[in-house]
């Protein structure tokens, strides 16, 4: 399904804004794409699956961040139309527990749960991120994480942006 990616992410944010804020976290949406309403960044996605990815990441952020912390959903652009590698970057950033360096290589593995998760008796099966990775790779994107233990985590996934052929040809 072809969707306006920024509008889609904004609608997910609006849907989850209250539930996340109810837990005490601050939660904000940031659009850094600079895209205009008349030139939307169109992605071809399974909306149910991508919603599942964003929700998994946001629920992790919520689960592993103390209620005084903050969570951001950020959209950015990468690449360029000219080079043919235009894409959307979606980031879920939190100021939570972070992930130990030793755990980082394994967080996308099935059933892997960081030692902190066991200690802090949080619920979960360790499948969430493995499913996210599968869905994103199926869409031709990538997913990775940057994190500092005790400081927070940023999960970033990419989605290729559809290029409007007619418009592209006009530029030649
Ligand atoms: P499930 O998603 O199946 O309910 P889970 O949340 O424990 O369980 P994943 O979502 O796959 O499993 O995450 C794997 C592990 O990665 C987590 O147990 C946790 O140790 C770590 N992790 C994931 N997201 C974060 C985050 N935002 N901050 C800190 N640690 C995280
Ligand atoms: Mg999870």
Torsions phi, psi of 78, nearest 5? -140, 165
pLDDT-derived band at 36, boundaries 50, 70, 90: confident
Using CA atoms, how far apart are residues 49 and 45, in angstroms rounded to an integer? Answer: 8
Kindly provide the residue ranges of all beta strands, DSSP E only, lying in the chain, ordered along the sequence: 2-4, 26-31, 42-44, 70-78, 87-94, 143-148, 152-160
The confidence score (pLDDT) of residue 171 equals 46
121 pLDDT above the threshold of 70: no
The ipTM, to two decimals, is 0.98
The confidence score (pLDDT) of residue 81 equals 85
Pair of tokens at residue 5: 């990616």
Name which residue sits closest to atom 25 of ligand 1, judged by CA.
60
Instruction: Give the Å distance between the CA of 53 and the centre of ligand 2.
Output: 10
- What percentage of the chain exceeds 90 in pLDDT? 79
The confidence score (pLDDT) of residue 7 equals 96
Ligand 2 ion local residues (Cβ < 5 A): 60, 128
117 pLDDT above the threshold of 80: no
Instruction: Give the Å distance between the CA of 126 and the centre of ligand 1.
Output: 6
40 pLDDT above the threshold of 70: yes
Name which residue sits closest to atom 17 of ligand 1, judged by CA.
113
The confidence score (pLDDT) of residue 172 equals 43
120 pLDDT above the threshold of 70: no
Q: Is the dihedral of CA 78, 41, 162, 90 positive or negative?
A: positive
In terms of residues, how long is the chain? 172
Burial class (CB in 10 A: 0-12, 13-18, 19+), 13: buried
26 pLDDT above the threshold of 50: yes
């Amino acid at each position: 399904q072809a969707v306006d990616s920024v509008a889609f992410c904004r609608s997910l944010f609006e849907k989850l804004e209250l539930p996340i804020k109810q837990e005490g976290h601050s939660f904000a949406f940031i659009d850094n794409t600079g895209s205009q309403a008349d030139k939307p960044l169109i992605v071809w996605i399974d909306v149910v699956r991508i919603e599942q990815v964003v929700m998994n990441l946001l629920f992790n952020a919520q689960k592993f961040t103390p209620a005084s912390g903050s969570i951001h959903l950020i959209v950015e652009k990468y690449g360029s139309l000219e080079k043919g590698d235009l894409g959307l970057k979606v980031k879920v950033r939190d100021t939570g527990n972070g992930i130990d360096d030793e755990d980082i290589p394994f967080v996308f593995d099935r059933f892997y749960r960081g030692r902190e998760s066991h200690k802090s008796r949080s619920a979960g099966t360790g499948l969430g991120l493995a499913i996210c990775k599968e869905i994103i790779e199926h869409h031709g994107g990538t997913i990775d994480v940057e994190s500092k233990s005790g400081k927070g985590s940023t999960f970033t996934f990419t989605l290729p942006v559809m290029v409007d052929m007619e418009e592209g040809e006009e530029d030649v």
